[in-house]
Amino acid sequence: MRVFIKTFGCSSNRAETAAVEGLLRSAGYEISAKLAPAEAVVVNSCTVRRDTELKVLRYISSAKGKKIVVTGCMAEVQPSAISSAFPQASIVSPHNLPMVAEALARDRRTIAMEHSLGTPPPAPYRKGVRHLVAISRGCLGNCAYCIVRLARGSLASVPRQRVLDSVAAAVGQGAKEIFLSAQDSGVYGRDLGTDLPGLLDAVSALEGDFRIRVGMFGPSSATPFLDRLAASYRAAKIYKFAHIPVQSGSDRVLGLMGRPYTAGGFRGVVSCLRSSQPGLTLYTDVIVGFPGEVKEDFAMTCELIEGSRPCKTHIARYSPRPHTPAAAMRQVPEDVKKKRSQALTHLVRGIQMEVNSEWVGRQVSATVVDAFWRGGVIARTDEYKTVALPTVRRSSIGRRMEVAITSATPFFLLGEISHR
């Protein structure tokens, strides 16, 4: 049977898709590169926002006539929404991924919702430059708006040796980028008596020419070992990159959200990492229009973003999620959310353009990691800056090269091979 896998959502979902692909291949299934020729489709769903949930449902509708298995966060926390719209679709929670192969083999519909706190199955390296490694499942947070924590459960960290074995095997077969993914990388190992800096030191000590992308971590998660984390970032193999979601610049709103830090705490974490790595690439996330947010709170968020100058800011309008406390709070009108989102987007684009423009004229070393949709390739600097190289052949993917930055957009840099 030919199976197509469609993935929605975060890097953790992508890592679990790779694991599902490995499980299906081992069970004798053929993985199809496209939906049309496949007899079955596995939908790895996401339900972090209402608009994403609707995209999942629309996609399932487009796969009529095929055997359908839905897994991922939506399968875990909203199986009734899937069942009511698609009564023939099998549903397998993300805690039961080995059941996906069995669900495809059965003539009847399968529902596998047994809840296990085990770690995600390892994803075998297939090919290409990038390899995703899930280092944990779940988190220790209690955010008022988050439905993902209900889907993923409490923290279950992958033992360090299993992570090391996965990385070493992938690098040995040609991987150049290792993505360490988790709902919150900062809490990795608390259930095992270890922590993120210890893992990073061990991974960066492995032999091979590769770079490590550290997954998202919260400000409060990093605080207990911040100096050690900054020291770990000095390793040549670790991208000078940090994804630290702040969500709001207002301490009052952060309290309503259930986020266990202040805006000042976020600034402190960023300042420490930038002191250690002045060229650090910072990504962050912001929610606008959270219940109870007033214009003064939003102004504080804009001030925080102006002051911290992230290289990328993901802006989300608050979306009520079922089974979460925030859904029962007094909501901000949609038109207000829209205006605030537009205003912050304008601010963010300007900051990103300014930050990227500072790179023009530099000569940098970079790893070619992917094809560029306009032609040519995409490379990553050691600071995880994205550089488009339109005139470089795709046969260069996987190589390190010297690059001259010639221009910038708010979203990426443009360059050419340096002949210095």
Q: Is the pLDDT of residue 419 over 80?
A: no
Q: Is the pLDDT of residue 295 over 90?
A: yes
* Mean pLDDT, residues 315-335: 95
User: Which CATH superfamily hosts domain 363-417?
Assistant: Nucleic acid-binding proteins (2.40.50.140)
Q: What is the DSSP code (8-state) at residue 272?
A: H
Helix axes 196-204, 160-172, angle to 10 degrees: 30
Name the class of domain 130-357.
alpha beta
Q: Is the pLDDT of residue 194 over 80?
A: yes
- Which overall architecture, per CATH, does domain 2-112 show? 3-Layer(aba) Sandwich (3.40)
CB 257 within 8 A of CB 297: no
CB 318 within 8 A of CB 290: yes
pTM of the predicted protein model: 0.92
- Which residues sit opposite 45 in a β-bridge? 72
Picking from 146-150, 173-177, 207-211, 235-239, which range would have the lowest pLDDT averaged per residue? 146-150
Confidence band of 336 (pLDDT split at 50, 70, 90): very high
**pLDDT value of position 237:** 97
* Mean pLDDT, residues 157-165: 96
pLDDT tens figures, 67-105: 999 999 999 889 999 999 999 999 999 888 889 999 999
**pLDDT value of position 118:** 63
pLDDT tens figures, 250-287: 999 999 999 999 999 999 999 999 999 999 999 999 99
Q: What is the DSSP code (8-state) at residue 247?
A: B
- Quick one: tokens of 255? 């309290």
Higher pLDDT, 229 or 18: 229
Q: Say what the alpha-carbon torsion angle 18, 20, 26, 28 is, to the nearest 10 degrees.
A: -110
> What does the domain layout of the chain look like in residue ranges?
2-112, 130-357, 363-417
Cα 105 from chain centre: 31
Q: Which residue has the tokens 């291949």?
A: 25
Q: What is the DSSP code (8-state) at residue 330?
A: P
* Mean pLDDT, residues 168-185: 95
**pLDDT value of position 116:** 59
**CA–CA distance, 163 with 401 (Å, rounded to integer):** 28
